């Protein structure tokens, strides 16, 4: 099986030539729902094609018609999550009009809202654990985060157009790492015991302090 291509967004579509009709599309959605449920409820050690097939009410043959390997399922559920999250963030950002600072505020609020779901936090905790043991899954996550980082680069470019592409990339990577690490301390699923109250308010305060130093020309 080929490795995931780094730097290129994964696809949430199943094997080429499948799911060309409505019934197939519905079946793919049920497979990805079942895979997500398995990861969240049973952990990375419980994720297998057989378990996903059972949850989806399919035979192994039917599941592998769409997704031949476990890694294909993981890539697809990551891509589906990224597509949905990107649409939510984009909608919130556009509510901020043309002002880069307001667009950034809206993006942060959208990401904080997404982290309020214990299901999402637990899903990524399990994916990180799975990636530590499976190179294919690690590649899929790397591709996912490349897409996440690209969206942050676009926002930062609006806010600080004078930064070089390499500095934009580095700063975007730091922002992504910060936001993802934040989920560990906001408490989702089994991570709830590590939660720290008031983090959202503190993050907003830090963001406002940082934006206070942005030149007026970059706020327009």
Tokens of 139: 């590649």
Phi, psi of 51 (to 5 degrees): -70, -40
What's the pLDDT at 127? Answer: 85
pLDDT tens digits, residue range 4-51?
Answer: 334 444 555 665 656 545 677 889 999 999 999 999 899 888 999 999
Show the DSSP H helices in 116-193 as ranges.
118-131, 135-159, 165-186
Q: How far apart are CA 79 and CA 216, in angstroms?
A: 37
pLDDT band at residue 54 under the 50/70/90 scheme: very high
pLDDT tens digits, residue range 85-119?
Answer: 878 888 888 887 878 888 888 888 888 888 888 88
Q: Which residue has the tokens 């390997």?
A: 69
Q: Among the listed ranges 2-6, 121-125, 130-134, 178-182, which one has the minimum average pLDDT value?
A: 2-6
pLDDT band at residue 201 under the 50/70/90 scheme: confident
Write the CB contacts of 215 (distance below 8 Å, at least 6 apart in sequence): none
């Amino acid at each position: 099986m080929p490795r995931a291509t780094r730097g290129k967004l994964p696809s949430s579509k199943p094997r080429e030539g499948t799911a060309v009709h409505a019934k197939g599309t519905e079946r793919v959605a049920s497979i990805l729902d079942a895979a997500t449920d398995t990861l969240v409820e049973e952990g990375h050690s419980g994720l297998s094609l057989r378990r996903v097939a059972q949850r989806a009410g399919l035979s192994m043959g039917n599941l592998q018609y769409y997704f031949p390997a476990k890694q294909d399922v993981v890539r697809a559920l990551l891509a589906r999550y990224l597509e949905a999250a990107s649409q939510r963030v984009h909608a919130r950002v556009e509510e901020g009009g043309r002002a880069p600072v307001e667009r950034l505020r809206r993006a942060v609020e959208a990401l904080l809202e997404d982290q309020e779901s214990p299901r999402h936090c637990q899903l990524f905790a399990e994916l990180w654990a799975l990636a530590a043991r499976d190179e294919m899954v690690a590649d899929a996550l790397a591709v996912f985060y490349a897409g996440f980082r690209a969206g942050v680069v676009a926002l930062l470019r609006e806010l600080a157009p004078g930064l070089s592409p390499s500095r934009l990339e580095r700063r975007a990577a730091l922002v992504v790492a910060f936001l993802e690490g934040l989920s560990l301390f906001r408490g989702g699923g089994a991570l709830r015991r590590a939660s720290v109250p008031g983090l959202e308010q503190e993050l907003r305060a830090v963001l406002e302090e940082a934006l206070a130093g942005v030149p007026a020309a970059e706020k327009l």
